A and B are shown apart, each in its own frame.
Chain A
Amino acid sequence: MSVLVAKGIRKTYGSLEVLKGVDLSVGAGETFAIIGPNGAGKTTLFKVLTGEVSAQGGSVSFDGKDVTRLPAFVRARMGFGRTFQVARVFGELSIFTNVVLAIEARKVNGGESCGRWWDWRPSADTSDEARSLLESVGLGRQGDEEAGLLSHGDKKRLEFAVTLAGKPRILMLDEPTAGMSAADRKSTTNLLRDLKAKGITIIMTEHDMDVIFDLADRLMVLNYGAVVSQGDPVTVREDEMVKQVYLGKGVGHA
């Protein structure tokens, strides 16, 4: 069954048509990757799916419900989790508070209690959950540090923890390994594989072909706002058109 379905997405910025009627359908538990050269419209498509920008045409539905007109925060409450190309964390706050925030937001939106109303500190369950989430992304020891002082890779990890704290049903990852060292890339890939095993649906854009062929069940190639090819990674890799526009002559790296 399809969790996320988009039909005929069109988006223009002024006279520039960025998306020219894109269709996609992602099944429950599937890992779906969107690739394409710079300027192909990946990030715009992403933003349309998450609700950050509205499209001029087409529809998006999640779990059979039409969400085309719903703003991002409502979609987030429905189970969209998102990370950004350049990790966005709340830099002035501690690492721990970043995660606490996300847990508390989830609890409030789900109608759960966040502990005693008069107590300004996070409740014991919230703190425990935050600590174990940080542990799971390898930031367990640094909780009190200011999030803004983290390295790029660690910010990405923290953003993951923050996103996972929302217990998303679908993860939208915009280049999850961009700018990472090889070791960080490896650990992120492992983390994603674990999430995938837990049955979380993942949609991602990515430049690193190793990561994609490692994780993706299905692949969509976008060029100039149109779908060039779609299918399982092996088939797509052999597609002549794709080789031309994106992969280059038989090289596995973009």
Chain B
Amino acid sequence: MNGSSFMRPAVILLFVAALAAAPFAVNQGLLFLIGIAMLQAMFALSWNLMFRYAGLASFGHAMFYGIGGYAVAAIIFHGFPLPFLLAILLSTAIGAVVAFVVALIVLQRAAGIQLAVLTLALSQLVLLFVSYTDFLGRDDGLSGLARPVLDFGFFTLDLRSPTAFYYFIMVAFALVTAGLLWFVSGRFGRVLLAVRIDSERAAFLGVDVRRKRIFVFTLAGAIASFAGALAAPWAQIISTDSMSWFNSAQPMLATLLGGAGSYWGPVIGAFGLILVNYFTRTFVGLSEFMVGGILLFVVLLAPSGIAGFFEMLRRMRNRTRTASAREHNQ
């Protein structure tokens, strides 16, 4: 067993500890951004689930993020008497159903660039529909969303407190991240990788490729909707920006930055992007410039992203170690 088998759990533990300590260490503004980073990380993970494990590049993934957000926002804004947790579940389910229908239609034939363009077009269509719907606040969206109080009978969780809501998001983030990691590490993840690498070969193992792709697309849509459904009450506002092509690009940028070849890449990338935005917030336009520059740097020098860069370092170190061990033995 080499040193890096202990490294990864240690880094993850440190990351969790830092997230847990954040409410005591940083100001409200930064706490809000870290919350957003966790939601964006979930969003990016769901995008990479499709990309890495089914070979599907969607350019309209924000459609689902927006659908989840709008569903929860409408329930809160119009005062539907639905417990918050059920509202979240319902929004996730709506996202899943829409994703399933889209997958049924789009994955009939399209893959590659056609899929990218089709999903982008569909997301713009949904955005247009929302911007003309009074019920959803037209172009302005729904704002002033009240944060809920969760009543479990024997105790209540007051999400009006930013710290409480922050921990709520953190638990959701941990559950989704761990659940997905379990999912892709298992039998299903192996089959999906095979589908992405060579779908025709996978078919000759008796794998129903289309069905697997539809399933992954649906699951990714559901997770994106879940993230969106948490983002709306966290930000207390939802607008058509949430389903814009710019937001669709976020999980792609995060994945590119963090590394598509690694499970943790999108998480690293999402936090990286938020950090860049935070540290450049006082200079108008600098954030775009920085993000562009960093991406250029990553694509040219570390094409497999930050996670891939560390993986490369690890391999190099192991190689020198085995080489020196070999010399030692001689």
Q: How large is the interface on A (under 10, 10 to 19, 20 to 34, 35 or more residues)?
A: 20 to 34
Interface centre among A100, A105, A109, A119 (most CB of B within 10 A): A105
- A residues in contact with B191, CB < 8 Å: 101, 104-105
Specify which chain A residues have a CB less than 8 angstroms from the CB of B109 in the assembled complex. none
| B203 engages A76 (CB within 8 Å) | yes
CA distance A162 to B189 in the complex (A): 18
Chain A proximity of B64: nearest CB distance (Å): 26
A77 CB-CB contact with B under 8 Å = yes
Residue contact A109 to B190, C-beta cutoff 8 Å: no
Distance in Å from the Cβ of B197 to the closest Cβ of chain A? 5
Of residues 81 to 102 in A, which have CB atoms within 8 Å of B's CB atoms? 81-82, 84, 88-93, 97, 100-102
Residue in B182, B189, B200, B206 whose beta carbon sits within 8 Å of that of A166 in the complex: B206
Find residues 167-223 in chain B having any chain A CB closer than 8 Å to their own CB: 182, 185-187, 189-191, 193-194, 197-198, 200-201, 203-209
Known A-B contacts A114-B187, A120-B186; the reply to A93 vs B203 at CB < 8 A is no
Residues of B within 8 A of A89 (CB): 201
Select one of B182, B187, B189, B206 contacting A76, CB under 8 A: B206
CB atoms of B201 and A88 under 8 A apart: yes
Q: Give B196 Cβ to nearest chain A Cβ, in Å.
A: 9
Once the chains bind, are A109 and B206 in contact (CB under 8 Å)?
Answer: yes
Q: Which of chain A's residues has its CB closest to B186's CB? A: A120
Q: Is B205 a contact of A162 with CB atoms below 8 Å?
A: yes
Interface of B is mostly: helix
- Shortest Cβ distance from residue A94 to the other chain B in the assembled complex, whole angstroms: 11
Residue pair A92, B200 in contact (C-beta under 8 Å): no
- What is the CA–CA distance of A101 and B194 in the complex, to the nearest angstrom? 8
- Shortest Cβ gap from A84 to chain B (Å): 8
Q: Across the interface, do A104 and B187 meet the contact criterion of CB distance under 8 Å?
A: yes
Chain A residues in 8 Å Cβ range of B200: 52, 72, 88
Let me know if B198 and A120 touch, CB within 8 A: no
Residue of B nearest to A88 (CB): B201
CB neighbours of B190 from chain A (8 A): 93, 97, 100-101, 104
Residues of B within 8 A of A90 (CB): 193-194, 197-198, 201
Complex interface bits, A28-56 against B, C-beta within 8 A gives 1, otherwise 0: 00000000000000000000001010000
A71 CB-CB contact with B under 8 Å: yes
- Contacts A101-B191, A104-B190 given; does A73 touch B204 at CB 8 Å: yes
Interface residue from B185, B189, B197, B205 paired with A102 (Cβ < 8 Å)? B205
- At the interface, yes or no: A11 with Cβ under 8 Å from chain B? no
Q: In chain B, what residue has the closest Cβ to A119?
A: B186
Interchain nearest-CB distance for A134 vs B (Å): 16
Which chain B residues border A114 with CB–CB below 8 Å? Answer: 187
Query: Chain A contacts of B198 at CB under 8 A?
Result: 88, 90
B209 (CB) vs chain A CBs: closest residue: A73
* Those 9 A-B pairs whose CB atoms lie nearest each other, nearest first: A120-B186, A120-B185, A76-B206, A105-B205, A77-B206, A73-B203, A88-B201, A109-B206, A90-B197
Identify the B interface with A (CB < 8 A).
182, 185-187, 189-191, 193-194, 197-198, 200-201, 203-209
